[in-house]
Amino acid sequence: MQLKKLAFLLAVLAGLVTASVSAFAADPENTMIVTLKDGDVTIALRPDLAPKHVAQIKKLVRQGAYD
């Protein structure tokens, strides 16, 4: 019985994490995709939490600093 509850809880948590990542990735203005040799990494920028940091990263991306 305890195992079923644990499995259910883990499934719910996985769904919540997936939903929150999808919500952030849906904003193309604040989504950065970094291509690495092992695959792409999607980074959700949060201007609501760190506006100066996000502005600096966007500036560097536009200048080609991460190419």
pLDDT of residue 13: 72
Is the overall model pTM greater than 0.85, yes or no? no
pLDDT computed for residue 4 by the predictor: 73
Residue at 45: amino acid letter: L
Which domain does 39 fall in, by range?
Answer: 2-63
Q: State how many domains the chain has.
A: 1
Q: What is the pLDDT of residues 9-62, one digit of tens each?
A: 777 677 766 655 555 557 889 999 889 999 998 888 999 999 999 999 999 999
CB of 25 closer than 8 Å to CB of 42: yes
